[in-house]
Amino acid sequence: MRIEEFDAAPAATAEALLRSCVDIDSWIDSLVAARPFGTAPALLERARELATAWTGVEVTAALAEHPRIGEKPTALSRREQSGVSEELADRLAEGNRRYEERFGRIYLVRAAGRTGEEMLGLLEERLGNDLATELDVTHGQLAEIALIRLEGHLTP
């Protein structure tokens, strides 16, 4: 979608596009209300700024529908997780189980641009985080994913 189309789209259309990036109402509502942006960089910058204000509750809730790394990917996450082999998916599944047991939510990492081995290495590393640190890391990863997806929806 061109930025001009996003700026002029009915609110429901803009909301649907943004919700496909991340399911956080405050972010979606604020971006829809802030239109028009005029340029894609202006939209992306505002989206980045608003993502810094997400609460821990919002981040945790947004993860409820997010697929686990290596498991039943959606069309978007399939492309993002293309570096995950079956053997690696098994190792990630075990890591996911340990992560969920430790933190009470799914392991989230920006998969785009990373190999399956890198994602597994980050999982192992993050298992050593305390709860607050890990929530901050998860927040940052969710914001990266949302912005990559938003940018992917925008055409020049």
| Dihedral angle sign, alpha carbons of residues 26, 38, 42, 138 | positive
Domain locations along the chain: 3-153
Which pLDDT belongs to residue 82?
A: 53
The answer on pLDDT for 21 being more than 90 is yes
d(CA 96, CA 72): 13
Give the pLDDT confidence of 84-116 residue by residue, as tens digits: 778 888 999 999 999 999 999 999 999 999 999
Task: Sort 49 into a burial class: Cβ within 10 Å, 0-12 / 13-18 / 19+.
Answer: exposed
Which CATH superfamily does the domain covering 3-153 fall into?
Oxo-4-hydroxy-4-carboxy-5-ureidoimidazoline decarboxylase (1.10.3330.10)
- pTM for this predicted structure: 0.87
Give the pLDDT confidence of 34-87 residue by residue, as tens digits: 999 999 999 999 999 999 999 999 999 999 877 878 765 544 444 445 557 788
| Percent of the chain scoring above 90 in pLDDT | 81
C-beta separation of 97 from 127 below 8 A:
no
Query: What integer is the mean pLDDT of 7-16?
Result: 98
d(CA 81, CA 73): 8
Which pLDDT belongs to residue 156?
A: 80
**C-alpha dihedral (132, 135, 136, 138), degrees to nearest 10:** 160
Q: In DSSP terms, which residues pair with 2 in a beta bridge?
A: 155
